[in-house]
Amino acid sequence: MPEISGLLRFARGAGIAAGGIAGAIGALNAVRVTAEHKAVDRVRRQGDPYVDEPFGAQAADRDYTVVADDGTPLYVEEVGPLAAPVVLIFAHGHANALGSFHFQRRNLAKMRSPQIRMVFFDQRSHGRSGRSDPEHSTIDQLGSDLGEIVRNATDDQQVILVGHSMGGMSIMGLADSDPQLFGTKVLGVVLISTAAESLFGALREGLPKTVVQRAIPVLAKGAQLAPKLTEAGRRRVGNAMWLLNRKYSFGSHAAPASLTDYVNEMINHTPIGVVADFSSTFTGYDKVAALPALRECETLVICGDEDRIAPMEHSELIHRELPDSQLVVVPGAGHMVHLEMPDVVNMQIRRFVHRVTETRDRKSSQRA
């Protein structure tokens, strides 16, 4: 029957075409994988001053757990004497952990005038803290968590809060819910690579905000419904993710491979479901109205001019809302400026601590 033989010939032709397309896709994929491997290898062949640096493995003087108001356990580590007159509390960013402040912890511990105690904690669902319910994965809840850390870690000492990215948002969440803390208990705030309003930096290139706003909840829902499948997909594109994390974490200073390894490790240890849980709070985030509370204390704003996640205009907005704040822009640095350019960031924090304590002492003498 001619119609059957014609169908058979069509099927054979379609099969050959499909096989050719599949083969071409496979070949292109092999080329991509090879190119990614070579790109990673090129970075690894460069000099690396941090190859023996114990990222994520620094010793603590004390560690303990603080229970948040919804029962989530928050893991805390401290460095420095309990009697130190000034306490610095560090809040890390999304998909990071308390170890992201590695260089601040290592170098600021040497401060003696004034002597400081440093408090580091893993945000809920991150690091060694407990997993949060999705409905509590919000900036408001992170602000409440930070308030619990402040109350548990301090007695009559004054506090300086240091927040990177989502950690800076946590500070603004606390300022929104408990503004009277600022200028009384909290004498200083350091905001690093953060924003006071909706954050689309990582996806903004060539994509309208409306597209991003619609796409992120869909992608997040998929991750929540099929986390194992999504995690498996993440592992299959290891080199691609390494390069992507490098691009969006650092600027043009050619950060050593070990820094990318550590950031990549923190991100990979953050379950994809946690990344998804926080996505909706970022798309609707707006704490500009909370910024006036920070006018009651000293504020330092630090950002890199090559930050692709929280572009510099976000820090400039905060600085405009807080005209007495100090804005420090680090040339060539990306989102992880405190890891990428630690000497610059540490110098600015040291100066800030001195300024805060001098202002405190001057006001105390005036009152006397």
Q: Which of 361, 362, 189, 363 lies closest to 292 in space, CA to CA? A: 189
Least confident of 30-44, 160-174, 257-271, 294-308: 30-44
Under a CB-based contact definition with an 8 Å cutoff, are residues 350 and 302 in contact?
Answer: no
Q: Which of 274, 335, 260, 265 lies closest to 129 in space, CA to CA? A: 274
Least confident of 78-92, 250-264, 288-302: 250-264
Percentage of the chain with pLDDT > 90? 65
Please state, rounded to an integer, the average pLDDT across all residues of the chain: 85
| pTM for the model | 0.84
Q: Which two tokens stand for residue 40?
A: 């990673």
Report the pLDDT averaged over residues 151-171: 96
- Rounded Cα–Cα distance for residues 146 and 123 (Å): 9
Report the pLDDT averaged over residues 226-252: 75
Amino acid at 119: V
Please calculate the CA angle 89-93-96 and round it to the nearest 5 degrees: 105
Under a CB-based contact definition with an 8 Å cutoff, are residues 198 and 314 in contact?
Answer: no
Question: What are the two backbone dihedrals, phi and then psi, of residue 58, each rounded to the nearest 5 degrees?
Answer: -80, 145
* pLDDT score of 265: 95
Report the pLDDT averaged over residues 169-190: 97
* pLDDT score of 360: 83
Least confident of 73-77, 215-219, 309-313: 215-219
Under a CB-based contact definition with an 8 Å cutoff, are residues 339 and 263 in contact?
Answer: yes
Tell me: pLDDT of 15 over 90. no
Report the pLDDT averaged over residues 315-331: 98
